[in-house]
Amino acid sequence: MTKNRSTTTSRNTKVSSDVLQLPENRGSAVDAGRSVAQNTLYPRWLREAQDAARMILRSPDFLNQFLAAVKKQGLVGEEKAALVVLIVIVSRLLKRPLNLMLKGRSASGKNFVVRKVLSLVPRTAVIEITSSSARAWNYAEDAFCHRLVLLQERNEASGAVHPMRLLISEGKLVRIVTVRENGRWVTKRFVSRGPIASISTTTKDRLEPDDESRSLSLWTDESEAQTARIVHAYGYERRLSTFERRAWREIHNLLQQRSRHEILLPRWLRRFADHVYTKDLKVRRYYPAFIEACRTVALIRSFQKGLSSGDGVTVDFIDVAITASIMGEVSAESIHKSEGQVAETRKVVEQISRSKNGAPVGRKDLVAALRISKDQAFRMLSNADGAGAIFRANKNEKSNRKLYLPTPRPRFVPDPAELFEMLTDNDVPNRVEWINPLTGKATVYTRRRFAGKR
C-alpha cells in the first residue's frame, strides 16, 4: 500500500546568457571523443556554439531558459504561446508534426510571438508564405519536407491553402500533367513531399472545419493586464548577443541529428488514455496531436537522459507532465471552444474576472466593459447561465446581485499529480522531480511505503 504526496518548491531559473557568457562553461560540454579532424573541420565559433547548445539541452530547466532567451529578444508575456510555438517548430522533425493556428484580434501580437520564437530558429527550417497560387505547391518536390510552413494573416488574400491542408493530412501532393516533349505529348508526375509542421495566424475566431480539425487553436492574451505589461516594457528591449542566438539555432541542428532515433511510447500509456476526455469527436484529432507533442518534448529532453548510439528515445512520465502543463489547457480550449453570443459572453466574463484577480462578474461589469444597456447585459448573462457557459458564484438571495464566473472546461488529459497516483513503481520511480516550464518551480511527487511493507 502506498501513500502519495506532492510538493512544490522554488528553484532559480538559469537564463541562457548566464551559460553562454562564461568561457569556462563553453568548453566543459565538449564531447570527450571528438577527434582532431573534427576540430579542424569546423570553425571555432561553430564548435563553441555547439558546445553551448549541448549545455543548454542537458539542463533540466531547458524550457525555462528558452523563455528567458525569447524574453530577452523582446517577448512580453505570452509564455504559454511561445512554448507551444517552440514545440510545433521542433515537431517538424517527427513523422507526424503538429499544426497550430494562432488567433487574435488585430494588434493582439500573434505574429510578434511567432517572430520572436523564430529569431532563435535556423532560417533553413522555415518556409514563410504570404500568398500562393494553387499550383505552386505541386512543384516543390522536397522543399517542404520536415520544414515549418508559416502562413501569416491567413485570409482570402493568402491564396490557395487547400494544398497545405492535403500536405498536412496526406504527407504529399501528387499532380499529373500532360506536357509536350520532342514533338509528342507525355504524362509527367510531380510530387511534393512532406511531412510539414505549420503555423497560421488569423484574426478569425473560426476557419473552415477541415482546417480547424487539423490544427490546434491558440488565442493570444487580449487582457488589459497584458496590454499594461506591453506598455511598461516598451523602450527597454534587449537582444541576445550574436553568440547566444547562434547557440540557440545550433540547438535545432542537434535536435535534427537526434531525431534519427526512434521515439517510443511507454507501456503505461493505455492507462493514461483511460482518463482522457472522449465526449467530443474532435478528440480523435487532438489526442494524437498531444501524444506527438509528448514525443517532441521527449526528443528535447533526450539530451538530459543520455542516449547511447542506436538506442531509441522513450517518452517518460516527466515528458508527459511537461506536455500536459503546456498543451493540456490549449487542447481543452480547442475542443470546447464554442461560437455565438453565449461563447462571447463567457469570454468577456472570463476576461473581466481575470482582471479582477478571479472575482465574480456582475451586470454592471458587463455594462462598463461593453458599453451596453443593463437590459442587454442581463440577457447576455441569463442566456450564458442557461447554456452552462457561466455559473452563479454567490447565493441566490433576494438582496444579492447576481455574480457569475466562467464554467471550468473539462480537463482534456489527467493532471500530472493524478497521473502519478494512477501509475505504480513499476511504471515510474517512487520519487519524480520535474520543473514546470511556465513557473520555473520544481514539483516533486513521492510515494512513502508504510513500515513493514517489503
Distance CA 421, CA 321 (A): 13
**Closest of 111, 108, 297 to residue 100, by C-alpha:** 111
Chain mean pLDDT for the chain: 79
pLDDT(74) > 80: yes
pLDDT bucket at 410, cuts 50 / 70 / 90: confident
More confident residue, 335 or 216: 216
Mean pLDDT confidence for 109-135: 84
pLDDT(38) > 60: no
> By percentage, how much of the chain surpasses pLDDT 90?
22
- Residues 6+ positions from 245 with CB-CB distance below 8 Å: 119, 120
Distance CA 317, CA 322 (A): 9
**Residue 37: what pLDDT?**
42
**Residue 84: what pLDDT?**
94
pLDDT tens-digit profile of 202-246? 887 666 666 666 778 888 888 888 888 889 888 777 788 899 999
Mean pLDDT confidence for 358-380: 89
Mean pLDDT confidence for 353-359: 85
pLDDT(450) > 50: no
Mean pLDDT confidence for 93-107: 88
Lowest mean pLDDT among 62-66, 95-99, 157-161: 157-161
pLDDT(300) > 90: yes
Distance CA 360, CA 10 (A): 30
User: Could you tell me if 220 and 110 are in contact, meaning their C-beta atoms sit under 8 angstroms apart?
Assistant: yes
pLDDT(158) > 90: no
Helix then strand count (H, E) for the chain reads: 18, 14
More confident residue, 281 or 157: 281
Q: What is the dihedral of CA 265, 270, 272, 277, to 10 degrees?
A: 120
Residue 386 DSSP class: H
pLDDT(26) > 50: no
User: Could you tell me if 83 and 438 are in contact, meaning their C-beta atoms sit under 8 angstroms apart?
Assistant: yes
Tally of CA atoms within 13 A in the half-sphere of 287 that contains its CB: 19
**Residue 339: what pLDDT?**
58
Q: Which residue has the cell 493586464?
A: 225
Lowest mean pLDDT among 10-14, 189-193, 398-402: 10-14
**Residue 294: what pLDDT?**
94
Long-range contacts of 121-130 (CB under 8 A, 24+ apart): 121/89, 121/148, 121/248, 121/249, 121/252, 122/249, 122/252, 122/253, 125/89, 125/92, 125/252, 126/89, 126/150, 128/152, 129/158, 130/158
pLDDT bucket at 24, cuts 50 / 70 / 90: very low
Residue 79 DSSP class: H
Q: Which residue has the cell 493582439?
A: 108
**Residue 85: what pLDDT?**
94
pLDDT(134) > 70: no
Lowest mean pLDDT among 150-159, 166-175, 386-395: 150-159
> What are the φ and ψ backbone dihedral angles of 246, each rounded to 5 degrees?
-65, -40
pLDDT(319) > 90: yes
Of 23-27, 74-78, 128-132, 317-321, give the range with the top mean pLDDT.
Answer: 317-321
pLDDT(114) > 50: yes
Mean pLDDT confidence for 347-367: 87
The domains of the chain, with CATH numbers, are 97-113+121-221 (3.40.50.300), 261-423 (1.10.10.10)
pLDDT bucket at 307, cuts 50 / 70 / 90: low
Strands (E), 152-248: 172-181, 184-193, 196-202, 216-219
pLDDT bucket at 147, cuts 50 / 70 / 90: confident
pLDDT tens-digit profile of 53-71? 999 999 999 999 999 999 9
- Residues 6+ positions from 420 with CB-CB distance below 8 Å: 4, 6, 317, 428, 432, 445
